Each structure stands twice: as structure tokens, then as C-alpha cells.
């Protein structure tokens, strides 16, 4: 998206681009440079997993939370996050007899 390369940057454009479902990776990376669009961009499923992983350590907890909730975050990284939080694994449901 050409608007993300405008000089000087138009801040509102970053937020609108980050919300757009068809935003491209280069446009989303540009959105990460804006403090108000950063959280929105971190939540976008088109953001590459390597970028998402880096955002987990972001100084802004809202950005880190958005990256952690992103469906494109690799399952292994998500499992590590849960392990770090000491979230117990759910045991598989056992078949219980049904009373009639």
C-alpha cells in the first residue's frame, strides 16, 4: 500500500491499513512503526510468525497480548507461552457412563 510510504507519514492511514483484512506484509510492517497502529498490526493474521514472536516481548503489553492472541502464532510458541504461565493441560475427557 503506497499510503504507508507517504512522507511525512499520515498516522491515521497506519491504523486503517492495520485493520484492513487484505493488508500486505510490507504494509503491516510499516504499521508497526506507528505507536497507535502497532497493536492492530500485531493482531493481523497476515503478519509473519517470526515478527509475531518478536512482538511477544514488546514493551507495550497491549502489543504483546495482541501478538500472543494472533491465530498465526505458531502452535509451539503458543504452547511455550502457556507453559511459562503455568497453565495446566486439560486431561482428555474420559467416557463416563450415562445414567438413564
The mean per-residue pLDDT over the stretch 70-77 comes to 94
Average of per-residue pLDDT values in the chain: 85
pLDDT confidence of residue 83: 84
Q: φ and ψ at 29, to 5 degrees? A: -65, -40
Instruction: Sort residue 14 into left (φ over 0), alpha (ψ -120 to 50) or beta.
Output: alpha
Confidence at 91, pLDDT banded by 50, 70, 90: low
Neighbours of 19 (CB within 10 A): 14
Output the pTM of the full model.
Answer: 0.74
Taking only the tens place, the pLDDT of each residue in 4-15 is 555 545 678 899
pLDDT confidence of residue 74: 94
Rg of the chain taking only CA atoms, in angstroms: 18
Amino acid at each position: 500500500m503506497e499510503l504507508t510510504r507517504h512522507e511525512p507519514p499520515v498516522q491515521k492511514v497506519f491504523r486503517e491499513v492495520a485493520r484492513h483484512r487484505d493488508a500486505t506484509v510490507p504494509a503491516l510492517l510499516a504499521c508497526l512503526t506507528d505507536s497507535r497502529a502497532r497493536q492492530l498490526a500485531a493482531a493481523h493474521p497476515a503478519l509473519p510468525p517470526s515478527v509475531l514472536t518478536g512482538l511477544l516481548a514488546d514493551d507495550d503489553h497491549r502489543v504483546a497480548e495482541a501478538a500472543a492472541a494472533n491465530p498465526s502464532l505458531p502452535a509451539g510458541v503458543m504452547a511455550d507461552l502457556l507453559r511459562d504461565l503455568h497453565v495446566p493441560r486439560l486431561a482428555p475427557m474420559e467416557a463416563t457412563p450415562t445414567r438413564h
